[in-house]
């Protein structure tokens, strides 16, 4: 069964065993590690509780990831944001301001700045990532044709600040890896390519050293569930208890 939390964990293990260093997107841009590096980029489009589960699994595996959350109702959840940040992950804004303001650039930029401040209440965000808004006619990235996110203290946006001829981008958009037919905007142009049927195949390629040294793996947490959740819950809960303790201890000192 694919897109289960257990499969996700196997993916993390495969990356670790293959010698990958896990960096947040911010670290990847500002202090890039040598050799094999993977950035786990998560777009929280909906079901933020699923994102928290992935964040917990990653923390239990000793790795960091980058989370981008939409500010829309049903997705934005401050309790969950706080918990993901406490687990040591990067957290920032999954922006869609141009869609929200129906193409009004001025309003969109004001809207962007207000919500960047909001997210910075929880994390000193230095990167951002656009929401693809597949059903909208507005391409949220176009905001940056008129404005400059660098002036707002942002050092990177995955669609503009990564050289995809050197970094392999793989995304679970459409519940398959790099399934080009289903992604409207969640893709990059002219970069390295790898088509894989399922996560198990991706794991095999990683194990065999058949993937590039630099990877950005984009997942949408709402797609990742566990049908055998009882098993996983046990596993994760054990770790979470320890994690919460560790976090509490760290905050009290
Ligand atoms: Zn999105």
Q: Do residues 41 and 92 make contact, with C-beta atoms less than 8 angstroms apart?
A: no
Computed over every residue of the chain, the mean pLDDT equals 89
Q: How many angstroms is it from 245 CA to the middle of ligand 1?
A: 32
Specify the pLDDT at position 231.
Answer: 47
Q: How many angstroms is it from 127 CA to the middle of ligand 1?
A: 15
Angle of CA points 120, 109, 136, to nearest 5°? 105
Q: Is the pLDDT of residue 245 over 70?
A: no
Residue 238 confidence class, pLDDT cut points 50, 70, 90: low
Q: How many angstroms is it from 94 CA to the middle of ligand 1?
A: 7
pLDDT digits over 40-98, tens only? Answer: 999 999 999 999 999 999 999 999 999 999 999 999 999 999 999 999 999 999 999 99
Specify the pLDDT at position 127.
Answer: 98
Q: How many angstroms is it from 225 CA to the middle of ligand 1?
A: 18
pLDDT digits over 162-191, tens only? Answer: 999 999 999 887 666 776 555 556 666 667
SS (H, E, C) 160-228: CCCCCCCCEEEECCCCCECCHHHCCCCCCCCCCCCCECCHHHHHHHHHCCCCCCEEEEEECHHHCECCC
What's the length of the chain?
Answer: 253
Taking 3-state DSSP, the helix, strand and coil percentages for the chain, each rounded to the nearest 5, stand at: 45, 15, 40
Q: How many angstroms is it from 200 CA to the middle of ligand 1?
A: 24
Specify the pLDDT at position 15.
Answer: 98
Q: How many angstroms is it from 44 CA to the middle of ligand 1?
A: 6
Gap between the Cα atoms of 86 and 77, Å rounded: 14
CA neighbor of 240 nearest in space, from 61, 7, 22, 17? 61
Residue 90 CA from chain centroid, whole number: 9
Q: How many angstroms is it from 119 CA to the middle of ligand 1?
A: 16
State the DSSP H helix or E strand holding residue 146, giving kind and residue range, or none if neither: helix 143-146
Q: What fold, for 5-246?
A: TIM Barrel (3.20.20)
Q: How many angstroms is it from 36 CA to the middle of ligand 1?
A: 26
Q: How many angstroms is it from 132 CA to the middle of ligand 1?
A: 5
Q: Which two tokens stand for residue 83?
A: 């918990």
Specify the pLDDT at position 175.
Answer: 66
Name the residue with tokens 């841009």.
29
Burial class (CB in 10 A: 0-12, 13-18, 19+), 153: exposed
Q: How many angstroms is it from 215 CA to the middle of ligand 1?
A: 19
Q: Which two tokens stand for residue 149?
A: 């996110």
Q: Which two tokens stand for residue 167?
A: 């970094």
Q: How many angstroms is it from 182 CA to the middle of ligand 1?
A: 14
Residue 222 confidence class, pLDDT cut points 50, 70, 90: confident
Residue 233 CA from chain centroid, whole number: 22
| pLDDT mean over 241-251 | 66
Q: How many angstroms is it from 173 CA to the middle of ligand 1?
A: 9
CA dihedral 248, 93, 48, 180 (to 10 degrees): -130
Protein residues placing their CB within 5 Å of the ion ligand 1 = 43, 45, 131
A 10 A CB-CB count for 106 gives 10
CA neighbor of 72 nearest in space, from 123, 128, 131? 131
- Three-class secondary structure of residue 81 per DSSP: helix
Q: What is the DSSP letter of 118?
A: H
């Amino acid at each position: 069964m694919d897109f289960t939390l257990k499969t996700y964990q196997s993916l993390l293990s495969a990356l670790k065993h293959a010698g990958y260093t896990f960096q947040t997107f911010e670290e990847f841009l500002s202090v890039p590690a040598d050799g094999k590096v993977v950035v786990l980029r998560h777009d929280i489009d909906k079901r933020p509780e699923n994102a928290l589960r992935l964040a917990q699994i990653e923390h239990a595996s000793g790795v960091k990831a980058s989370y981008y959350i939409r500010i829309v109702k049903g997705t934005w959840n401050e309790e969950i944001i706080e918990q993901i940040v406490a687990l040591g992950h990067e957290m920032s804004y999954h922006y869609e301001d141009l869609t929200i303001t129906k193409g009004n650039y001025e309003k969109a930029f004001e809207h962007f700045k207000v919500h960047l401040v909001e997210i910075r209440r929880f994390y000193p965000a230095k990167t951002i990532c656009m929401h693809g808004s597949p059903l909208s006619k507005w391409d949220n990235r176009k905001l940056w044709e008129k404005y400059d996110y660098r002036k707002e203290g942002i050092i990177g946006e995955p669609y503009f600040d990564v050289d995809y001829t050197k970094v392999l981008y793989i995304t679970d958009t459409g519940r398959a890896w790099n399934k080009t037919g289903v992604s409207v905007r969640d893709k990059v142009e002219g970069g390295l390519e790898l088509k894989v049927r399922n996560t198990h195949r991706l794991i095999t390629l990683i194990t065999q050293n058949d993937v590039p040294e630099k990877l950005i793996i984009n997942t949408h947490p709402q797609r990742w569930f566990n049908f055998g959740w009882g098993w996983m819950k046990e596993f994760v809960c054990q770790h979470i208890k320890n994690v919460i303790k560790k976090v509490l201890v760290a905050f009290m000192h």
